[in-house]
Amino acid sequence: MAREYDNPEIPILRDALELLTVDKLKDLLKLLPSESKATRKADLIVAVEHGLSGEKLKALWGKLDETQQLAVAETIYSSDGYFNASRFKAKYDALPVFKTEKEGGRYGSVPTVLRLFIHPASLYGSEASGYVPEDLKRRLATLVKKPTASPLPLVEELPDYYAREDEEHEWQEGDPSITLIAGNGVNAMPTQPPKVDDNTAEIPLFRRDTEADALAELTVMLRLIDQGKLAVSDKTYLPGAAALRELDSLLSREDFYPPEATSPNDIDQIGPIKAFAWPLLLQTAGLAELHGKKLALTKTGRAALGKPATETLRGIWQRWLKGKQFDEFNRVDAIKGQTGKGKRSMTAVAGRRVVIEASLKQCPLGTWVKFEGFSRYMKANGHDFEVTRDPWSLYIAHVEYGSLGYAGFHDWHILQKRYLACLLFEYAATLGLIDVAYVEPWEAEWDFGQLWGVDDRDFLSRYDGLRYFRLNPLGAYCLGLADTYQPSRPQAKTVLQVLPSLHISVVSGIPTQEEGLFLDAWAERNSENLWRLDRGKILEAVERGQRIAELRDFLTARDQQGLPETVEGFLALTNQQANALKNTGTVLLIECQDASIAELIAKHEQAKLICQRVGPTHFAVKPDAEERFRQAMHSLGYGMPRGN
């Protein structure tokens, strides 16, 4: 019976040895407890084969260190039968030793015992392409156990700080690169500089739970487009700078970073993330399309206004996975060459996304995952994808000197990891599938310093600050891991007291950034730990798509005494007033020449079903009923010029 690792394309041991020169065969023979004095190639091959048989093989296996044994196991049980050095490094954070320097300081190197097990694919083949000969695999079957899969890097509790290891860095009081989001989401300096211990800087983490934001922002975006207020380019289908600024102000709690956030060198600007993603997501999902210079809702988009937001968000994600219109890697704008001829070398985005989604489905619900570790987890477990088929077409700063085709310039952490961060941070988080914890991108490790032309850059992509993420209930529903959506109900650690005067004070604990931002959206902050409910802010929150029930749940979960009657009455009345008016969408306002014509239209059997009289001479007609209204007018003998 064939074993699961059998691969007829992998040569047998004799074929592998035939590739080697006499000198290389002699080096291998020296590793064996053999008394052979062979000098001819054929005799050397026989001697090496004999040394790798029976109990001799078991003894040689025992001479391998743990890392070398793991390398053999990973090679034998790999899907293609070859040793993958980069995948091995990602999984074990180490590489096996294939050769050592000659003794006595002589020039050159000699192979280790590992080279008797893993053979190069060609005479001058690299270690990354080595393989275990097929017949040798069979002999090793009882010695080599299948390696376990690389585990997900889970975090039991999200830390308050991100510990970054610095080679040489001293923080100074007032350092402009140390900022955190506080209050209403604008940059603020921490009261103390980050702690530095053994070259480790502790950087405050920003956390954003995204479910409620996405549910609210979806409605806001659909309404905004329905009212014809979102202009986009007829070439790129993207909003301009002014439109992006307007979108940012309409988001539930602003974007992940302040719109003006700029790196310490005043060159690299983060720019919009959520505001950029929403128009693309809605167009790709077929909910909006370009009409002139503005987006308009499609029939599907208009229908989405009456459907549960969770169902629509799931549909958007599924359509995004299959979409071809936009490549997220374009957003890593420091890397040039993605357009023109270089575009032909970029791989299909759908293929990348499906691999990432499959890995995302492995994440346990509600548990934080280290992003850096998740990237290594994908690579270590063979969840591979490529961004480009020809890295020589991509470059930084200069098409020749800065080309990513050079060795080490297009490794996983440069291309795949940046693409992964963009997809998760800008699209999955915007849709509310994952919660995120992050720092400013210039606070992350500078892991791209080997590239040419990056000396003046503080980060390679605006997503470099992503440190942790977790799959939430909305994400589980959108990924098909749950049949229904059950909202998250995180346990509250901060104790609040809600007073009859509408004031909210902190009794114990320190409000998290999430809690502070939430209260700022509904109430006026009077001091660091004191807020007062404000009807104007509540009305604005409801207009953004949030619900007063969310505010009530938030307060009751943190006030053990329950809400005072005055507060309950205030919320009930405000809720009634907030929903007193209903936006039913855009209509055509049609004016009649005189009241007698308006009277005829109002009594017409067909017309009165598709229009509503507004005053003595005006009618309101839904845009999708315009043609039927015209036909009704023709039957009355009247016309209506277009464009008026």
User: How far is 585 from 227, CA to CA, in rounded Å?
Assistant: 7
Average pLDDT over residues 27-38: 88
Predicted pLDDT at 169:
37
Q: How confident is the model at residue 7 (pLDDT cuts 50, 70, 90)?
A: low
Query: Looking at residues 163-174, what average pLDDT do you find?
Result: 50
Identify the weakest region by mean pLDDT among 124-133, 382-391, 538-547: 124-133
- The pLDDT assigned to 489 comes to 66
- Rounded mean pLDDT of 366-374? 95
Question: In 121-256, which ranges are E strands?
Answer: 154-155, 161-165, 180-182, 186-188, 196-197, 200-204, 206-208
pLDDT tier at 1 (50, 70, 90 boundaries)?
very low
Question: CA 564 to CA 497: how far, in whole Å?
Answer: 10
8 A C-beta contact, residue 125 and residue 85 = no
Provide mean pLDDT across the span 91-114: 85
pLDDT of residue 513: 63
Lowest mean pLDDT among 295-299, 311-315, 486-490: 486-490
What is the band of 555 on the pLDDT scale with cuts at 50, 70, 90?
very high
Q: Which of 128-132, 421-425, 577-581 has the lowest mean pLDDT?
A: 128-132
Residue 476 CB neighbours (<10 A): 21
pLDDT digits (tens, 9 = 90+) for 202-250: 899 999 999 989 998 898 888 888 878 888 888 888 888 888 888 887 7
The DSSP symbol for 629 reads: H
**Structure-token pair, residue 521:** 């959206």
Residue 490 pLDDT? 60
**Tell me, what amino acid is at 220?**
V
175 pLDDT more than 50 = no
Q: Which pLDDT band, with edges at 50, 70 and 90, does 193 fall under?
A: very low
Higher pLDDT, 586 or 323: 323
**Which residues contact residue 455 at a Cβ distance below 8 angstroms, ignoring those fewer than 6 apart?**
none
Residue 4 reports pLDDT greater than 70: no
Mean of the pLDDT values across residues 420-446? 96
| Cβ-contact 472, 313 below 8 angstroms | no
> For residue range 39-86, what is the model confidence (pLDDT) as tens digits?
899 999 999 999 998 889 999 999 999 999 999 999 999 888 899 988
Q: What local confidence, expressed as pLDDT, does residue 244 receive?
A: 86
Concatenated DSSP letters for 440-455? Answer: -GGGS--TTTTSTT-T
pLDDT at position 176, please? 33
Share of the chain above pLDDT 90, in %: 60
Give the pLDDT band (50/70/90) at residue 618: very high
Say whether pLDDT at 443 is over 60.
yes
